[in-house]
Amino acid sequence: MIIADPKPFGQVKEYIKDYKRVLVVGCGTCVTVCLSGGEAEVQLLASGLRIALGKNGKNPVILEGTVQRQCDEEFVVPVLDRVRDERIDAVVTLACGVGVNFLADRLGSVPVFPGVDTTFYGASAGQGLWAELCAGCGNCITAYTGGICPIARCSKHLLNGPCGGSEKGRCEVAPNSIDCVWQLIYDRLKKLGRLSELQNLLPAKDWRTASDGGVRRSVREYLQEPK
């Protein structure tokens, strides 16, 4: 899923300090699971903003809402309706960056501000901990690396084995918290009896499928309406 961290409160407060009717809108999917942008976080942020801005004598109206997904038209239409019907003059979204953009493309003259910092595609790695597992490069090479991605999980995105900074299974960039992914790949291929594959040279990667090839689109023609 997509992982995000709450933005510092002061930053969000600064974004909206001059608006009168602000809607804080959460998202019920990834950011709810990683506890940064669901219903509970919306309540928390909205109350904080009311108190902080009230102290400054601004007293804006802070409204709350959460939709199932902010990346699909059908779920976002009710948000757009509320903005129009309740004369909202600014939106703070706690969805990932996709939600921020999706709303910005549809909100006309009403500004939208991010309430979270979107960080990576990852999974739960323990209580209160999430870790990056995929970089979304668009050309998956994990068939050659035992299912473990060195692009997402190596600090230097190396494709041909560990650098000289791999020590006791740890990455020199942060030995206390980051595993050397090439040690993990090595150990896994050893278990799978496929260690000899590491002798093969993985050639320079074609990054066009990553964000380096321009804005990406994904097409399923069978779902599209006939022209």
Partner 1 sequence: MSDNNGFKSGSNLERVLRAGHFAVTCECGPPKGADVEHLEKKINLVKGCVDAANVTDNQTAVVRMSSIGASAILVRNGVEPVMQMVTRDRNRIAAQSDIFGASALGIRNMLCLTGDHQTFGNHPMAKNVFDLDSIQLLDMVRIIRDEGKVNSGDPVEGGIKMFLGAAANPFADPFEFRVIRLAKKISAGADFVQTQCIYDMDRFRQFMKMACDMGLDKKCFILAGLTPLKSAGMAAYMNKNVAGISIPDSVIQRIRGAQKGKQAEEGIRFLIEQIQEVKEIPGIAGVHIMAIEWEDRVREIAERAGLLPRPAIEA
155 part of the interface to partner 1, by CB under 8 A: yes
Q: Quick one: which of 36, 92, 82 has its CA closest to 60?
A: 92
Minimum distance from residue 21 beta carbon to partner 1 (Å): 37
Minimum distance from residue 180 beta carbon to partner 1 (Å): 7
215 part of the interface to partner 1, by CB under 8 A: no
d(CA 43, CA 6): 13
Scanning 15-23, 30-38, 67-75, 172-180 for contacts with partner 1 by CB under 8 A, the matching segment is 172-180
Q: Give just the sign of the alpha carbon dihedral 191, 201, 209, 98.
A: positive
Out of 14, 72, 81, 172, the only residue in the binding site for partner 1 (CB under 8 A) is 172
Is the CB of residue 141 less than 8 Å from the CB of residue 159?
yes
Out of 74, 143, 201, 227, the only residue in the binding site for partner 1 (CB under 8 A) is 201
93 part of the interface to partner 1, by CB under 8 A: no
65 part of the interface to partner 1, by CB under 8 A: no
Out of 10, 57, 108, 164, the only residue in the binding site for partner 1 (CB under 8 A) is 164
Minimum distance from residue 201 beta carbon to partner 1 (Å): 6
Minimum distance from residue 151 beta carbon to partner 1 (Å): 9
Q: Give just the sign of the alpha carbon dihedral 132, 133, 139, 142.
A: positive
Out of 109, 199, 218, 224, the only residue in the binding site for partner 1 (CB under 8 A) is 199
Number of residues that bind partner 1 (CB under 8 A): 32
Out of 2, 148, 149, 180, the only residue in the binding site for partner 1 (CB under 8 A) is 180
Is the CB of residue 31 less than 8 Å from the CB of residue 96?
yes
Is the CB of residue 39 less than 8 Å from the CB of residue 47?
no
**Lookup: tokens for 176:** 């206390």
Angle at CA 42, nearest 5°, toward 25 and 48? 120
